[in-house]
Amino acid sequence: MLEIDQLCVRAGGFRLSGISLRAALGRSHVILGPSGSGKTTLLETIIGFRHPTSGGIRLSDLPLIGLPIERRDIGYLPQRLALFPHLSVRENLAYGERMRRQARGDTRRILDELVMAADIGHLLDRRPESLSGGERQRVALVRALAARPQLLLLDEPFSALNDTLRRELWRLVKALQAEHGFTTVMITHDLAEAFFMGDDITVMIEGRVQQSGVKETVWYRPATVEVAHYLGIHNLFSGVVTNGEPSAHDGPEGSRIACIECPSLGGIVSIPQPAGAPTWRSGSAVTLGIRPEFVRLHRAADAVGPDELLLDGRIAEVWATGAETALLVQCQVPSTPDPSAGKSRGTPSLIELRIGAGALRDRIFVTGESIQISLPTKDLFACSDPAPPPADEGQSGAP
Amino acid sequence: MNFRRLTVLSALTVLGIYAALIASLAYFFDRTAVAGALTSERILFSIQLSLVASTVATGLAMVIAIPAAYALSRHRFFGREVVDAILEFPIIVSPAALGAILLIFFNTPVGEWVQTHLIRFVFAFAGIVLAQFVTILGIAVRFMRAAFDEVPEEYERVARTLGATPVRAFVTVTLPLARRGLIASGVLAWAKAMGEFGATITIAGTMAMRTETLPIAIFMRLSGADIEGTVALILVLLVIGLSALYGARYFLRDRHHA
């Protein structure tokens, strides 16, 4: 397991502050964040290219700070791959064994297996400059894994490839990981790549960990507005918690219900809080959100469930990508009495929904068209802005 | 005239200036004088002295320049900017001044102690090597640093993660990748040492069959109004220098395409 505790790093004018995360053995941990968020600085510190000002890094209980890079047992796949241009593919692959001199007994067998799995046997006598982009990636991956590192660090190595090649390499990394059991930490700013590759996801913004947890938790229940924005969620509505205390009668199977006054959604919205979600104090300001793919187009014939918010609106914008159609809907929120504040007016809001191209193939959407949309309350999440509240496991912190 | 033509014309002007200067040698070219120069024991000694001294000076400069250039290219350290600036010292200070500084140094107590107890430099072979060494060291470091700058640091980093120590990563990855630039820098430094005159004559003098290098021999011939002999020696120096430069370029290009 890779354990990072309260790591602080200074890199020129940039700082990483109090970074803590865990990457469990055999799991794939993706560090996600925009450019300049400190992902690469963190990766370089784990490898040993940078020295932290404080904090600790341990790999399988071995402290890495102060340990020479060559003794850290970490494989590294950089963005530009860095295949040695003066060596053949075969020499590149054998470089690690040559440097370690004392080869591990089954190094050769492992290398042969990796070469076969990555299908690069026919490239061994070629020079890196003569390889295609995908071939270079595969060679660099096998070279990094040939020494059987405990941990493989990937620094956006697939960002320059087309979609087909990228998916092929994602599958290859996953297959090799399943076969050899190494841990991976991958940095990327690509959301699809993060979701496919990661078992766990850490979102970093401006040198800080905003949220870290199992993929589904981070993806579907962002802890902060910044994380939600970064994950492409713009359906965010300000609200105030009216009662967030756990109660015995609330929710099935011990889950809790948070009641949030949200004028943009027509009044008080009750959302189930999964186990491990933060406890909100009454009166605290929160932001409600929902992923656009969870917003549904409501048809007249559809029944409205008790856990759905039904909203009328007009299509403000339509754009289709071929795979899906995205609608931006200007909602007319019904006026509802507000028992806590005495207000009775809702605030119109723009809500984005995405419909898979196969779902409504013959439906043509027109700007200005009146439609109804529904928001399942089970898919709504509450998050804080800017800092997350004290959290227990699952929503924030270690997976 | 468009911009491309203007720049190409400038490049051809450079060629024209140097070609005209070299061509002017033909006016005083004398085959007998050349033959005489190539068979003269004194001139052959000067050629040999220049070849040996410049090779030793270049070798010594490389020993310091390669690690120094690597440090300047890769590491940030206290005094780095000062070191970087001082590389131009031999260019800023005229060669004669550089020789004078060396002479002055050997007249200080430390210099006298070095001369008495270690090596005699003034009016000696070691002085020639020293003069050439200090002249080319800064240039060698500057050129070699550029060669290391051309090699992305990422190669070394990956080598380290593959189990190489810093020294082995340098020897097995950085050095081979910077090889062409380093050899080109070495050849250029050697050619510069071959042609060094001002500092050498100041510290080593003009003693025939002792400290008379090829450039000094040229100066001595010119002082004696022996124009044909001067031209012959210039051509010898020119052939040696250009052969080395083109030989290195051909060797590197050939290896690159292999």
Distance from C-alpha of A196 to C-alpha of A153, rounded to nearest angstrom: 16
**C-beta separation of A377 from A270 below 8 A:** yes
Q: Per-residue pLDDT tens for A188-222?
A: 988 989 999 999 999 999 999 999 999 999 999 99
B245 CA: distance to closest CA in chain A (Å): 24
Total residue length of chain B: 258
Number of domains into which chain B is organized: 1
Please choose, from the candidates A146, A147, A148, A166, the residue with its C-alpha nearest in 3D space to the C-alpha of residue A156.
A166
A84 CA: distance to closest CA in chain B (Å): 7
- Say whether A147 and B163 touch across the interface (CB within 8 A): yes
- Say whether B165 and A68 touch across the interface (CB within 8 A): yes
Residue B16 within any structural domain of the chain: no
Residue A259 vs residue A303, higher pLDDT:
A259
- Interstrand relation of A285-289 and A256-262 (parallel, antiparallel or unpaired): unpaired
pLDDT surpassing 90 at residue A20: yes
Query: What is the ipTM metric for this complex?
Result: 0.80
Mean local confidence (pLDDT), B23-27: 88
Sheet of strand A151-155, all strands in order from the earlier edge strand to the far edge: A74-77, A151-155, A183-188, A28-32, A200-205, A208-214
pTM of the model: 0.80
Q: Chains A, B: CB contacts under 8 A, how many?
A: 58
Residue B31 within any structural domain of the chain: no
Distance from C-alpha of B39 to C-alpha of B217, rounded to nearest angstrom: 14
- Say whether A99 and B176 touch across the interface (CB within 8 A): no
Peptide bond into A272 cis (omega under 30): no
Residues of B with CB under 8 A from a CB of A: 152, 154-155, 157-165, 168, 172-173, 176-177
The CATH number assigned to the domain holding B51 equals 1.10.3720.10
Residue B145 within any structural domain of the chain: yes
Residue B33 within any structural domain of the chain: no
Containing domain of residue B93, as a range? 42-257
Non-local (6+) Cβ contacts of A153 within 8 A are A43, A46, A47, A74, A75, A76, A77, A184, A185, A186
Instruction: Determine contact: A157 vs chain B, CB below 8 A.
Output: no
Residue B117 within any structural domain of the chain: yes
Q: What is the pLDDT of residue A316?
A: 93
Residue B25 within any structural domain of the chain: no
Residue B235 within any structural domain of the chain: yes
Distance from C-alpha of B183 to C-alpha of B189, rounded to nearest angstrom: 10
Please choose, from the candidates A17, A33, A63, A44, the residue with its C-alpha nearest in 3D space to the C-alpha of residue A212.
A33
Phi–psi pair at A8, nearest 5 degrees: -125, 130
Confidence band (pLDDT; 50, 70, 90) for A335? low
Q: What is the pLDDT of residue A105?
A: 61
- Say whether B176 and A76 touch across the interface (CB within 8 A): no
Residue B68 within any structural domain of the chain: yes
Q: Per-residue pLDDT tens for B105-114?
A: 999 999 999 9
Q: Per-residue pLDDT tens for A218-267?
A: 999 998 999 999 999 999 998 888 875 544 345 555 567 888 888 888 88
Q: A68 contacts in B (CB within 8 Å)?
A: 160, 165
